[in-house]
A and B are shown apart, each in its own frame.
Chain A
Amino acid sequence: MSENKSNWPLWEVFVRSRQGLGHKHVGSLHASDAEMAIGNARDVYTRRQEGVSIWVVPAESITASSPSDSEALFDPANDKVYRHPTFFVLPDEVNHM
């Protein structure tokens, strides 16, 4: 077994499945640099025409919100139902608005 293992950094992979759609997170992989990460992402995540474009991002560059902050971040939206159009009841005569 190798003692001084050279550990390639971790990259998060995002794939655009077709033109007109956004890139979507599909998983991660290890690669020594960005170019190799694109090549590996092609082999690992698009063997069956799952994509037309790939983003790779060093995993350590991603800042994620913490589950413990989710109340503070997302709960305020709960009591603002008037943001949704269905909050406003229209007279039957008005079909579309």
Chain B
Amino acid sequence: MIETQQHLREEFDAYVAADKKIEPKDWMPDAYRKTLIRQISQHAHSEIVGMLPEGKWITRAPSLQRKAILLAKVQDEAGHGLYLYSAAETLGVDRADLVDDLLSGKAKYSSIFNYPSLTWADIGAIGWLVDGAAIMNQVPLCRCSYGPYARAMTRVCKEESFHQRQGYSIMMQLMKGTDAQKEMAQDALNRWWWPSLMMFGPSDSESMHSSQNMKWNIKRFSNDELRQRMVDMTVPQAECIGLKMPDPDLKWNEEKGGHDFGEIDWTEFYDVIAGNGICNKERLEDRNKAHDDGEWVRDAAVAYSEKRNANT
């Protein structure tokens, strides 16, 4: 028996190393299944919690068109959450259990959503930077070894680029406006820049899950590589519309062909993960309230279906 497991394990490793895809019913090591369930469900939770900071601005959007766009964007996030829960369920877990773990605080979601969205410019910064960082993380996942996750990510990535552009377009518009509007845009960049860089996770030397996930083709690039790309992509975009990057140490390094940038405040990063961010409590309360308030709807739908089935 142990020998068979060993054999299956070797076959699996060779198969994945050859860049082939694993599908739901294929044999896979328990640790691979567990790590995927953890990552995909955290990812799904992030999409769902990510609706909250932006959802707050739907009723306060400055024009009907911006309101319709933001509504569509937030609806996409709900869709992304559902694609991902659907991918997670192919691994033999139940969505209701995953949701319970989110609501009880047992499961994590991306820490970025524990920061508040204070002004309309924050909606610009979130789309531009937070969705921008998310795309940077997600594009390589379209080639991840687990088929259902890769397919879900392909759908998500197609939709995310609208999100990033609508954010940048909000910033662009503000930067063409009054001094107060420009200040508002700059203030949003100042507050969202560092948390956005933290989205790539701890530095490579500190990252817990990296090396095994690289071997399994769940992860393709290291946290620091992706973070570097994010910096190099964003700097000219900010410059183009007259925003100043909030990093005094930022400068072009000809030799490495990229920017050098300042040290990230990792104390803040771990503090927010530990639950001490500005909005951790509020986000969980909001999710729990939405879930509880929706319970009668879920129950009524089941009662209605049962009644109809009984009548036919």
- Seen from chain A, the residues whose Cβ lies within 8 Å of a Cβ on chain B are 1-2, 5-8, 10, 27-30, 32-33, 36, 43-44, 47-48, 64, 66-67
Contacts and interface: CB of A to CB of B under 8 A. Distances in A.
Contacts, number: 63
B274 interface: no
A33 B300 CA distance: 12
A5 B96 contact: yes
B140 interface: no
Given A5-B96, A47-B76, A27 B83 contact: yes
Chain B interface main SS type: helix
Interface in B292-310: 292, 295, 298-299, 301-302, 304-305, 308-309
A27 B25 contact: no
A5 to B, nearest CB: 5
Contact of B305 (A7, A29, A32): A32
10 contacts: A1-B100, A1-B103, A6-B299, A6-B302, A27-B151, A28-B86, A28-B90, A33-B305, A33-B309, A64-B25
Given A2-B291, A7-B94, A8-B301, A44 B83 contact: yes
Interface size grouping (class) on chain B:
35 or more
A29 B82 contact: yes
Contact of A1 (B86, B95, B104): B104
Nearest to A30: B95
B291 to A, nearest CB: 7
A27 B302 contact: no
Given A32-B304, A33-B305, A44-B83, A10 B89 contact: yes
Contacts of B308: 33
Contacts of A32: 298, 301-302, 304-305
Nearest to A10: B89
B89 A66 contact: no
